[in-house]
Structure 1
Amino acid sequence: MAEITEWTFAADAAMWMTLYLQGHKQLPFAEAKVEIKGKENQSRRDLVLFDRDGRKALTAEIKLPDTREGQTPYNAGLIADARRKAAQSHAPYFATWNVNRLVLWPTDQEHELKVYDVATVRQRGDLAAVQVQRRIREEFIPRFLEEFARIYRGEEALGVLPMDQRFIRRLESALESLANVIFPAALDRYVTHRPFKQGLDTWMREQEWLLSDDDEMVRENVERAIRLACYITANKLVFYQALRRTRTFKLPKLAIPPHTDTAERLRDHFAALFHQAKEVTHDYQTIFEGGFIDRVPFITDHAVERWRLLVELLNEFDFRQFDQDLIGHIFEGLLGPEERHRWGQHYTKPEVADLINAFCIRRHDAVALDPSSGSGTFAVRAYARKKHLARGALTHADLLSQVYACEISEYAAHLTALNLATRDLIDGENFPRVARADFFDTSCDKPFCSVPDVLAERKKRADIAMRDIALTRADAVVGNPPYLREKEIGRTNKQKYLQQVCAEWPSLTLSGRSDLHVYFWPHACALLPEGGYFGFLTSSPWLDADYGFQLQRWILQNFEIIAILESVREPWFTGARVATAATILRRCSDSAKRAANLVRFVQLRKPLKELLANDGTETGRQEAAERLRDLIENTKADTRTPDYRILVVPQQKLWDDGCQAGELTDTGESEDNDTQPVQQTNGMLQETGGDYHAARPYPLLSNWTGHEEGSG
């Protein structure tokens, strides 16, 4: 096979563009060519796109990603060279392209217009892969030519990318370059170094990843871990830069000394900066502290220069000149769900969190809890919900003091804390209530988390003084608890969870066959006062499976069921391999009130993003969620539209059809099944030695949503 060079790749790209243009005569371009040599004193242009009048519409400079100049299409020398060549050619636009990403620039303006993700290539040999060539030829080139045609014709309004987007795009490119150089070393160490493999496997299990010895799965997992590890460290560096803009914090400039030439020295250098940030701010331990995964980006000395380039990028943007709104936009983009997903983190769609929060957070002073926060989608959207309701009545510190999150994963807790802290980088108390803990180790009688004590006399001490924060009540419990099946929980944890639930809710008996999320319901609801709201996004099988029967019974005896929602158009959690449902409850001890309550079973037939269409402002997002909430709650009879179906059922009927009318049946299982004996509840259950369940209290939802589209 002939060697792949920048010239051969440019020739292929020009050929693919020309072939596409030959079949799409409506576009203003005729062909693309590769220049063999420059004219007179001009250097050769890698690729030129001509319009149908023979004029140069665009010139492009191409660098392969395994070259120094090709590490990022934002290389300053590459941009300057490409701009000079475009100006000499009188081309109105130019592109810098490192195969993985193409950046489109106006020749006469400083900043880029658009950025295109093209492929994922680490070294030039990867360009020979059929799937890589197909992706470039059949996906990228048509999209680029169609979009650039609209720009060239003036059909699409021109405007450079906003500063926050320019920053994030450059950071993405630098991170991809880092991941590419670290991956081979990480994969080799994973295969040959047992302690490293054990450490990374442990971390991946904590993230609930699927592990396998399959070569392709190993490569995918290692690559995903590398990308996340680099993303975590970059988050810390960006946050450090953001702190430096605050005059209160005297932090040294972010820089890598010239003599730092090994990855281990660089890791120690960053660790010292992060430690100093914690000392100076008396805060942000959850953000700056790390574990095993924080060592992964520094396993090869080849990464040092790539980190140096990333730090230089951060210093190109003077954070001290940015106002809080711009800082906020940067972190919203950097920590947003789509961006986290780019680097390998699954997430709950924000629209789902907004709808659940609209149901559950009704007052600006409501205390909200996410017992398994992941990277913080529910907690951040709860903060936004409360800020919207407060209309300026709550400060940033007030809002943080009323939003609680618990997360067992060190990495996810870091993201949650960072997500909340960067809502407003104030000089004063900026202490997210994020507990890095197993939620089942939390209780009302011990501290939930600790935050710095900033009283004057404490600040004089050398050590950071901490004060404990208790959580004795939550007006709203919201979240998306882990998708972990019964067999993956472990016998010891299972017994612990069962005992805890029995102690908090003596009338509730859960089967030891329950998925993990089922235990979260009663433990979290122990904090709910009368009238408090509960909203969980979970897997749907609890509505059908045997282990869900007792949970349903407990719900009917302690809550008004406001709504149960499912979508037939989209998954609501990226990475989930099961159907999901959102359940909205309100704590209610009045049996008559519960019986009279109308339950809404909701099937959404369009993506939530369409149903919650708004003007893009925070107020617009909140009001759209409120409108859909009110529509559902105000529906009194069965309703069918192209957008949704709502089945309205009196809660008493659910009880009558299920618990009271149902026959208890013995599954025939032995006592050695980790279940607690069924306890008497209102005289309807009898204690036995086997595993018993009532007839299903919710026979309606699965039967209804299982109908064919358009059926009765």
Structure 2
Amino acid sequence: MEKPTEDTYVAEFVSVTKQLGALLGFDAEFNRKTPSGKPDIIIYYKNKPVAVIEVKEPKIPLSDPSLNEQALRYADWYRKNRDVLFYGIHNMKYLNLFKFVQKEQREKTLLDFIEGKKTLWVPVSNFPFKIIPWAKSIDDYKQISTNNRAQENLQDFLLKFKEILEGKTLDLSSDVIEAIRRYIEEGANRGLTKFEDMYRRNEENVRELFEAWRSERGLDKPKNDSQLREFLGLMIKEQLYTFSMKVLFYLVLQSIDAEMAAKLKENLASVEPSDPLIFKRIFDMLFAYAIDKTGDFEEVFGTNTVDKLPLVDATLQSLKELISYLSQIRWSEINVDVIGRIFEGLIYTERRHLLGQHFTDTAVVDLILAATLKSPGRLIDPACGSGTFLVRALNYWRAKYGYKKENYQFIEGIDIDKLASMLSKINLYIQAIKEIEDKIKYYPKIRHSDFFKEMLPPEFSYVTTNPPYTRQEEMAMAFYDKEYKKWLDETVEDIPDWSKRASIYAYFLVKGAKLLKEAAD
């Protein structure tokens, strides 16, 4: 039997597309007359050729700049010779689709801060469409016709492509957040039994690390095996979410830094071994390199309790698939607000509930800031979450008063949740890409701390926040401090007849008001 090639997969893809796309108005053709000399896929919609898809092997990442440059040259050839305005690059795992536009029509991305060639071929979506994410080589070509998930993914792509052809705009950021969550949840579920066994045997200090983590979270000792398993599950989930956030931020940074990109490429080639120890060591080295390279982000890439936990065999497959997925995305071409939205979505549900977190829609934030802000001045968000108020304040001042690098120094934030403070720091850093490209050091003024323990002077022009809305008891549990009410009482000790049943947000309002310059006058 002959070894399968890209041609083999193209034929299989065409056959399945004909079957799945017929009711949607699609057809497909195996095309040999190509500028590359290798067969491509031509997609028809209502009997008219609308797209060409070039197939690559799974080992070739779609984020490779040289791949995209070559592909878009071919795309121009098809546009001129076949009047096709859509061009796709597909490595069996994922599919990137580009559209030719008559004039440049794209949102602000990281590339706006980097010199580079502009093109009239723009991605139809910030993120690739998944087809066979688990494909390892061309030998998996039959998956497109035999695997139900692969066929569902292809059908979903055709449905979305139909919407695009009908003039609709796609936002796949929620799909990306959901995909990341799914990989993490699957990894946590797969690894839980092994972690429980390691806890009982106290292998690799898992029991001591669990006790340290439990103490940090203010959790009581588990009452029974069921609660122990629940807590272990939360700990693993936090481990995987934290790891994923570090990987994602590294990918964003390396998209604008050639040295970091080279280091990443060198190390990603080494993650195939199934030894969890080697896998973890590789990424620990990458994260240490990122701290050294940026001169900052110890808070993001540094080690905390969950980072000291071992990775287990059962979670590796999910993590590898997640890394493969994130590596397909060209982060430098994605709108900075979309990147922020993805990081924001990485705070998992249980944690968000305890913290009373309700992330504010940017349209609402913009409305509040437009009614509040005047000229640039010192601004703080005492419950900054992922930094939406801080980022939008910078954008507001930039739009109204023009770009001024000193505005970044006015912005400060505090959050009790380490994950949230990491997100805020990341999002501000992304906004400051221009400064970073100009070799100006920028260290976002974000503190991982308890706002009510902070001794801050009344020197702020603005205090803007969406404080947590939750009961004091839940905040005490989430904030890892059993004496939390003591700090709240000190905040309002000068207010007679203050109700002890007041919600947390009321205390934020009182302390926030005391930070304003006018409050001291």
Q: Which residue of 2 aligns with 1:351?
A: 363
String of CA shifts for 1:214-261, please: whole Å, max 9, x gaps.
x9xx9999889856742432213533664678xxxx999555356675
The AA in structure 2 aligned to 1:14 is: K
* Residue of structure 2 equivalent to 1:147: 164
Higher strand share: 1
Is 1:95 the counterpart of 2:88? The answer is yes
Structure 1 residues without counterparts, runs of 5 or longer: 22-30, 157-164, 207-211, 318-326, 445-470, 533-588, 590-712
Q: 1:38 to 1:202 in 2, by over 3 A?
A: farther
Q: Confirm or deny that 1:507 pairs with 2:496.
A: yes
Is 1:17 the counterpart of 2:17? The answer is no
Listed as ranges, the matches of 1:504-653 within 5 Å are 505-507=494-496, 509-512=498-501, 514-530=502-518
> Counterparts of 1:121 and 1:49 in 2: how far apart (Å)?
19
Is the partner of 2:464 in helix, strand or coil? strand
Alignment of 1:163-562 (within 5 A): 184-194=186-196, 226=240, 229-239=243-253, 242=256, 253-257=263-267, 261=273, 262-276=275-289, 278-279=291-292, 282-292=295-305, 299=312, 332-333=336-337, 335-337=339-341, 340-341=344-345, 347-365=359-377, 367-387=378-398, 391=402, 395-396=404-405, 398-422=406-430, 423=432, 424-425=435-436, 427-444=439-456, 471-490=457-476, 492-493=482-483, 495-503=485-493, 505-507=494-496, 509-512=498-501, 514-530=502-518
What is the distance in 1 between the residues matched to 2:211 and 2:62? 31
Q: Deviations over 1:153-180 (max 9, x none)?
A: xxx9xxxxxxxx9xx99xx98x999887
Aligned counterpart, 1:104: 97
Give the match's secondary structure for 1:517.
helix
Q: Which residue of 1 aligns with 2:353?
A: none
CA offset digits 1:133-158 (Å, max 9, x no partner):
4x865x6534412533669xxxx9xx
- Partner deviation per Cα, 1:620-678 (whole Å, 9 max, x = no partner): xxxxxxxxxxxxxxxxxxxxxxxxxxxxxxxxxxxxxxxxxxxxxxxxxxxxxxxxxxx
Check the 8 A contact 1:106/1:112 in 2, yes or no: yes
Partner of 2:110: none
Evaluate the alpha carbon distance shift between residue 191 and residue 97 of structure 1 in structure 2; reply closer, same or farther with a 3 A threshold: farther
What residue ranges of structure 2 are gaps of 5+ in the alignment? 1-8, 101-118, 135-142, 200-205, 218-225, 350-357
* Pairwise CA distance, 1:351: 2.0
Match of 2:376, SS state, is coil
1: CA distance, partners of 2:462 / 2:509: 12
* 1:10-63 deviation per Cα after TM superposition (whole angstroms, max 9, x unaligned): 655433422122xxxxxxxxx41476x989xx9776x643366x6644344679
Distance of aligned partners of 1:515 and 1:48 in 2 relative to their CA distance in 1, 3 Å threshold: same
The residue aligned with 1:24 is none
Equivalent in the alignment of 2:27: 32
CA contact (8 A) 2:380 2:463 kept: yes
When you count helix as a share of all residues, which structure comes out higher? 2
**1:353–1:230: structure 2 CA closer, same or farther, 3 Å change rule?**
same
Give the conservation status (yes or no) of the 8 Å contact 1:179–1:230. no
| Aligned residue identity for 1:19 | L
CA contact (8 A) 1:182 1:302 kept: no
Is contact 2:194–2:312 with CA below 8 Å preserved after alignment? no
Please say if residues 226 and 296 of structure 1, whose CA atoms lie closer than 8 Å, have aligned partners that are also in contact: no
CA distance in structure 1 between the aligned counterparts of 2:266 and 2:97, rounded to whole angstroms: 31
**CA distance in structure 2 between the partners assigned to 1:86 and 1:429 by the alignment:** 40
Q: Is the 8 A contact 1:267 1:298 kept in 2?
A: yes
CA deviations on 1:173-216 (whole Å, 9 max, x unpaired) are: 8x99988777654321124413589969979x97xxxxx99x9x
User: For residues 405 and 181 of structure 1, what CA distance do their matches in structure 2 show?
Assistant: 30
Q: Distance in 1 between matches of 2:484 and 2:191?
A: 35
**Corresponding letter in the other structure for 1:443:** M
2:124 counterpart (114, 131, 143): 114
Q: Deviations over 1:84-111 (max 9, x none)?
A: 899899753543457885422479x996
Q: Distance in 1 between matches of 2:157 and 2:256?
A: 35
Q: Give the conservation status (yes or no) of the 8 Å contact 2:180–2:322.
A: yes
Which residue of structure 1 aligns with residue 44 of structure 2? 50
How many Å separate the matches in 1 of 2:93 and 2:318?
19
Distance 1:303 1:38, change over 3 A: same
Contact 1:376 1:419 (C-alpha < 8 Å) held by counterparts: yes
Judging changes above 3 Å, is the alpha-carbon distance between structure 1 residues 529 and 143 closer, same or farther for their aligned structure 2 residues?
Answer: same
Structure 1's 359 and 94: CA in aligned 2 closer, same or farther, altered over 3 A? closer
Determine the structure 1 residue equivalent to 2:352.
none
Query: How many Å apart are 1:264 and its aligned residue?
Result: 3.5
The change in CA–CA distance for 1:75 and 1:233 in structure 2 (over 3 A counts) is: closer
The answer on whether the counterparts of 1:96 and 1:104 sit within 8 Å (CA) in structure 2 is yes
Contact 1:251 1:277 survives alignment (8 Å):
no
Q: CA deviation at 1:477?
A: 1.3
Matched residue SS, 2:244: helix
Matched-pair contact (CA < 8 Å) for 1:182–1:226: yes
Distance 1:296 1:330 in 2: 33
Q: CA RMSD in A?
A: 5.7
Report the Cα distance in structure 1 between the residues aligned to 2:63 and 2:427, rounded to whole angstroms.
Answer: 27
Tell me: CA distance 1:202–1:83, structure 2 relative to 1, closer, same or farther (3 Å). Answer: farther
Change (3 A) 1:496 1:386: farther
How far apart, in 2, do the equivalents of 1:289 and 1:227 lie? 14
For 1:378 and 1:363, locate their aligned partners in 2 and report how far apart those are by CA, in whole Å.
16
Q: Partner amino acid for 1:363?
A: S
Cα deviation for residue 522 of structure 1 reads 1.6
Query: Which residue does the alignment assign to 1:128?
Result: 148
Residue identity opposite 1:433 in structure 2: K
Give me the whole-angstrom Cα distance separating, in 2, the residues matched to 1:102 and 1:375. 30
* Higher-RCO chain (CA-CA 8 Å, sequence separation at least 6): 2
Describe the shift of the 1:11–1:231 C-alpha distance in structure 2 as closer, same or farther (beyond 3 A): farther
Give a deviation string over 1:290-339, Cα, whole Å, max 9, x none. 4356578965555897798789879x99xxxxxxxxx7x86725633266
- Confirm or deny: 8 A CA contact 1:372 1:405 kept in the other structure: yes
Q: TM-score scaled by structure 2?
A: 0.62
Contact 1:240–1:277 (Cα < 8 Å) also in 2: no
Paired AA for residue 368 in structure 2: I
CA distance in 2, matches of 1:230, 1:33: 37
CA displacement at 1:479 relative to structure 2: 0.9
CA pair 84-427 structure 1, distance change in 2 beyond 3 A: closer
AA in 1 matched with 2:447: A
Aligned length: 435
Q: Is the 8 A contact 1:337 1:347 kept in 2?
A: no
